[in-house]
């Protein structure tokens, strides 16, 4: 007797739906962007209408749905379909059993109690499932007990039982249930790869043709590293530069003989969860729910004196020779004898002329550059990096026909006997055509620098217009560098000095000076020998101010009257104003004395009146106080006349000052 061991036997093979086989797409082209994006292009040869199959990792489905494009010159796209993000959860939501019921025939029958089944074995039974129970049946000849599943059915003849393991055939009577169960088994099979989804893409057209399918997904950023070799002679203005690209294949599939292109740029890229189901939330009644708000979500330098000349026009493509000697890498590609580099508006691309193969999960390092470039050895002083010594650096210029991507540099020194020595590392930012970069790689202890900064201020030009002195104050910041260079070498030293906003560089001349990221780059020539050289860097700021001379303080005007930067006429006018102010002050002196006497008498009268309130009437003391008040009133009358005369003198002095100031300018 055959045993029922699988769920498929319960369903019947004839119940499984069949589909026409879909054609797989073949990966042909890959372009990796330094912005962390990858372009993958597939091809398939089709005849007429066809269904193409493409399997992608689950975490790439959003990007594939966002960017998938089909190129079919003789046809058009019929549509794209793929399983939902959680297809099994949705499938079993609509079935009368859950996924666990498919773990065994007994679990399935137990989940479908009440379902009508037909069983064939030693006898034929048709009925509805009432119960599914497990029994332990003792084994013969001292064998261990065996588990048996006893199924109870409600039949036309009453309750009947059978042993599930002894049944030869079991069939669900309802054909609709058989179809749904068969589809569930197919979906489980298709969903075995939990981290991948298979897309079915239909194309329509006539005749044999090649269809291309491409999309953009997130990939690991490919990296650039350089090797720069300095010549034995420090005065030689040429250096050897090799560039290498390191990339990883984390796409989920092997790359076999693909056309590989690397792009260096910074494209704008977005991600949107297109593979998620979203539902509009509605407020519940009677409770009001407030809606949630979702808010939207060395680099080179320029000349300090004039704008730099425009770079030369880019050519459509250039050929770069691959390095003659290649270092070891994780999965070394064969040396490409010709590499095509192209300069576009926003990026530089490097296309490899030979197909490239990289297994999934492997790393590849490929040469992209090998040429001589203009490079000058210099000393670069950055006080925030090292306060006492400059850095040994290379001033590198890109005179090629394409820009260079950013990357780290390993710098070597070639000796006079052709020996190679490692001297340091440097970092290269993105380097467009015609630009220059400073690449510091080590501390230069042969040069010692002492730096001292100070500020001063002076009054500059001034003129009088309509009684207002318009003058300029010039602030000056001076940084003094005392430098002792190498004893037996000359050296070019570039000093970075902070550029003060609103200030002007007056020393040294701005000609030949660069500005980079808020700093001046100043070039000084160091002669060989032990002698200390002194350089000043001076920045100035001019502030225009006004002073109303009629209200100006004498001390302030006195400073301006002695300012040697003012012309003689202005100084004479300010001196005259000082004299007239002195005349006003001399006229105010007696007026102040008189007002002080008046104030003293008024205070004395107040004291006497207070005493009068407490003395007896017609007493000698009362009469004495009254006599004193009478005398004080006469004195106040006299002081009032004197004050009037003194006030006239003050007014006359002030009128003379106003008249003179009013004539100026």
Contact between 12 and 32 (Cβ < 8 Å): no
pLDDT at 305 over 90: no
Instruction: Please report the pLDDT score of residue 420 as a whole number.
Output: 93
- Give the pTM: 0.61
Look at residue 457 and tell me whether its pLDDT is greater than 90.
no
Cis before 508? omega within 30:
yes
What is the rounded distance in angstroms from the CA atom of residue 496 to the CA atom of residue 514? Answer: 10
Q: Tell me how far the alpha carbon of residue 377 is from its chain's centroid.
A: 32
What mean pLDDT do residues 53-65 have? 87
513 within 8 A of 304, measured Cβ to Cβ = yes
Burial of 192: CB neighbours in 10 Å, binned 0-12, 13-18, 19+: exposed
What proportions of the chain, in percent to the nearest 5, are helix, strand and coil?
Answer: 25, 40, 35
Provide the token pair at 445: 């202890």
Mean pLDDT along residues 566-584: 88
Res. 437 pLDDT band, cuts 50 70 90: very high
Mean of the pLDDT values across residues 551-568?
Answer: 85
Helix (H) or strand (E) holding 470: strand 468-484
- Overall average pLDDT of the 158-176 stretch: 88
Superfamily of domain 7-216: Protein of unknown function (DUF3247) (2.30.30.720)
Q: Is the model's pLDDT at 300 over the cut of 80?
A: no
Which residues share a beta bridge with 450? 482
pLDDT at 287 > cutoff 60 = no
Q: What is the pLDDT of residue 275?
A: 67
The predicted pLDDT at position 205 comes to 86
In the chain, % of residues over pLDDT 70:
83
Q: Does residue 342 contact residue 351 with C-beta atoms inside 8 Å?
A: yes
Which of 61-65, 92-96, 315-319, 573-577 is the least confident region? 315-319
- On the CB side of 423, CA atoms within 13 Å amount to 25
- Quick count: other Cβ atoms within 10 Å of Cβ 372? 11
Minimum mean pLDDT range among 219-228, 261-270, 292-301, 380-389: 292-301
Measured torsion, CA atoms of residues 311, 314, 319, 325, in degrees rounded to the nearest 10: 30
Quick: pLDDT tens for 377-430: 999 999 988 889 999 999 999 998 888 999 999 999 998 888 999 999 999 988
Q: What confidence score (pLDDT) does residue 72 get?
A: 87
- Whether 453 has a pLDDT exceeding 80, the answer reads yes
Residue found by looking up tokens 């993958």 in the block: 40
Which of 15, 363, 1 shows the shortest CA–CA distance to 173? 15
Distance of alpha carbon 516 from alpha carbon 369, whole angstroms: 27
378 near 386, Cβ under 8 Å?
no
Q: What is the average pLDDT value for the chain, to the nearest integer?
A: 81
pLDDT beyond 50 at 631? yes
Residue 97's pLDDT is: 77
Q: What is the spatial distance between Cα 385 and Cα 301, in angstroms, rounded to a whole number?
A: 19
Backbone angles phi, psi at 637, to 5 degrees: -65, -40
Beta-ladder partners of 90: none
26-33/37-47 β-pairing: antiparallel
Please compute, for residue 212, the number of CA atoms within 13 A of its CA located in the half-sphere on the CB side: 10
Gap between the Cα atoms of 419 and 410, Å rounded: 16
């Amino acid at each position: 007797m055959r045993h029922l061991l699988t769920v498929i036997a319960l369903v019947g093979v004839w119940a499984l739906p069949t589909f026409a086989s879909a054609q797989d797409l073949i990966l042909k082209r890959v372009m990796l962007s330094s912005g962390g994006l990858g372009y993958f292009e597939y091809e398939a040869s089709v005849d007429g209408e066809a269904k193409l199959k493409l399997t992608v990792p689950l975490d790439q489905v959003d990007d594939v749905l966002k960017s998938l494009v089909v190129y079919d010159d003789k046809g058009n796209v019929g549509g794209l379909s793929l399983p939902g993000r959680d297809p099994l959860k949705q499938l079993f939501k609509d079935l009368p059993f859950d996924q666990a019921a498919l773990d065994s025939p007994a679990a399935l029958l137990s989940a479908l109690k009440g379902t009508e089944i037909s069983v064939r074995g030693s006898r034929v039974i048709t009925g509805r499932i009432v119960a599914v129970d497990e029994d332990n049946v003792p084994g013969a000849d001292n064998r261990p007990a065996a588990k048996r599943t006893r199924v109870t059915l409600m039949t036309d003849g009453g309750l009947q039982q059978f042993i599930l393991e002894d049944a030869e055939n079991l069939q669900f009577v309802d054909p609709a249930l058989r179809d749904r169960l068969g589809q569930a088994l197919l979906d489980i099979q298709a969903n075995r790869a939990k981290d991948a989804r298979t897309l079915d893409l239909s194309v329509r057209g006539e005749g044999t043709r090649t269809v291309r399918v491409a999309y953009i997904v997130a990939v690991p950023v490919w990296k650039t590293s350089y090797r720069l070799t300095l010549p034995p002679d420090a005065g030689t203005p040429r250096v050897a530069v090799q560039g290498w690209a390191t990339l990883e294949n984390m796409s989920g599939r092997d790359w076999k003989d693909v056309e590989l292109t690397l792009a260096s740029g910074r494209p704008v890229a977005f991600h949107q969860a297109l593979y998620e189901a979203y539902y509009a939330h509605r407020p519940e009644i009677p409770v009001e729910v407030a809606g949630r708000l979702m808010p939207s979500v060395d680099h080179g330098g320029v000349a300090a004196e004039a704008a730099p000349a425009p770079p030369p026009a880019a050519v459509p493509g250039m050929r770069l020779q691959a390095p003659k000697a290649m270092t070891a890498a994780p999965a070394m590609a064969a040396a490409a004898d010709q590499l095509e580099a192209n300069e576009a508006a926003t990026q530089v691309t490097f296309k490899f002329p030979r197909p490239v193969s990289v297994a999934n999960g492997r790393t590849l390092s490929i040469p992209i550059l090998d040429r001589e470039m203009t490079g000058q050895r210099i000393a670069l002083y950055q006080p925030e990096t090292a306060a006492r010594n400059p850095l040994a650096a290379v001033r590198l210029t890109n005179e090629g026909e394409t820009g260079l991507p950013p990357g780290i540099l390993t710098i070597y020194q070639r000796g006079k006997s052709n020996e190679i020595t490692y001297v340091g590392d440097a970092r290269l930012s993105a380097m467009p055509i015609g630009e220059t970069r400073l690449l510091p790689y080590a501390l230069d202890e042969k040069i010692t620098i002492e730096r001292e900064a100070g500020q001063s201020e002076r009054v500059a030009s001034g003129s009088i217009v309509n009684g207002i002195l318009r003058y300029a104050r010039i602030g000056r910041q001076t940084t003094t560098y005392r430098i002792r260079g190498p004893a037996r070498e000359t050296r070019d030293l570039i000093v970075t000095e902070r550029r003060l906003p609103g200030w002007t560089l007056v020393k040294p001349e701005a000609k030949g000076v660069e500005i980079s990221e808020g700093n001046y780059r100043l070039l000084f020539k160091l002669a060989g020998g032990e002698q200390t050289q002194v350089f000043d860097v001076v920045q100035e700021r001019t502030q225009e101010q006004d002073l109303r001379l009629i209200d100006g303080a004498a001390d302030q005007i006195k400073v301006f009257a002695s300012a040697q930067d003012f012309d003689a006429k202005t100084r004479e006018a300010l001196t005259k104003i000082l004299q007239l102010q002195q005349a006003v002050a001399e006229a105010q002196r007696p007026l102040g004395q008189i007002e002080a006497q008046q104030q003293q008498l008024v205070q004395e009268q107040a004291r006497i009146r207070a005493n009068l309130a407490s003395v007896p009437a017609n007493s000698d003391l009362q009469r004495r106080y009254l006599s004193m008040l009478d005398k004080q009133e006469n004195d106040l009358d006299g002081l009032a006349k004197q004050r009037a005369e003194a006030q006239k003198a003050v007014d006359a002095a002030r009128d003379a000052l106003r008249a003179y100031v009013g004539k100026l300018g």
